Amino acid sequence: MYQQTNLPPFLIHLRINSKNRVIHAMNYIPASRRNPCPICGHDSWCATTSDGNMVLCRRSGGINAIAKTDANGSLYWLHPQNNSIPQPVATSIKPIQRADEDTLNAVYGSLLHYLELSPEHHENLLKRGLSEHEIQKRQYRTLPDSDRWKIAKQVATHFADDQLLTTPGFFIKDGNYSPYWTIAGSSGLLIPVRDMQQRIIALKVRVNNDDGYGKYRYLSSSYHGGASSGSHIHIPLFDQPIGNEIRITEGELKADIATALSGLLTISVPGVSNWRMVFSTLKAMKITNVKVAFDQDAFTNKNVGRCLYELLTELKNRGYAIRVEKW
Q: How confident is the model at residue 87 (pLDDT cuts 50, 70, 90)?
A: very low
Has residue 5 been placed in a domain? no
Has residue 84 been placed in a domain? yes
DSSP codes, 184-199: -S-SEEEEEEE-TT--
Write down the pLDDT at residue 27. 56
Q: How confident is the model at residue 106 (pLDDT cuts 50, 70, 90)?
A: very high
- Among 133-142, 166-175, 258-267, name the one with the lowest average pLDDT: 166-175
Mean pLDDT for the stretch of residues 9-29: 37
**To 10 degrees, what angle do helices 101-114 and 148-156 make?**
130
Q: What is the pLDDT of residues 50-63, one digit of tens each?
A: 777 788 887 777 66
CATH number, position 177: 3.90.980.10
* Residues 72 and 166 reside in one and the same domain: no
Domain end, chosen from 94, 128, 151, is at 94
Q: Which position has the higher pLDDT, 98 or 51?
A: 98
* Residues 127 and 209 reside in one and the same domain: yes
Domain count along the chain: 3
- Among 25-34, 55-64, 239-248, name the one with the lowest average pLDDT: 25-34
Q: What is the pLDDT of residues 163-213, one digit of tens each?
A: 999 999 999 988 877 899 999 999 999 999 999 999 999 999 999 987 766
Has residue 82 been placed in a domain? yes
The b/e string for 68-107 (b: 16+ C-beta within 10 A; e otherwise) is eeeeeeeebbbbbbeeeeeeeeeeeeebbebbebebbbbb
* Residues 40 and 87 reside in one and the same domain: yes
* Residues 188 and 266 reside in one and the same domain: no
Determine whether 273 is exposed, middle or buried from the number of CB atoms within 10 Å of its CB (0-12, 13-18, 19+).
buried
Q: What is the pLDDT of residues 216-234, one digit of tens each?
A: 999 999 888 888 898 999 9
CATH number, position 282: 3.40.50
Has residue 14 been placed in a domain? no
* Residues 278 and 188 reside in one and the same domain: no
Mean pLDDT of the chain: 83
* Residues 106 and 220 reside in one and the same domain: yes
- Domain boundaries, position 178: 101-224
Has residue 17 been placed in a domain? no
Prediction pTM value: 0.73
* Residues 141 and 161 reside in one and the same domain: yes
Write down the pLDDT at residue 24. 33
Domain end, chosen from 43, 69, 94, is at 94
Domain end, chosen from 165, 195, 224, is at 224
Has residue 167 been placed in a domain? yes
List the helix and strand counts (H, then E) for the chain.
9, 16
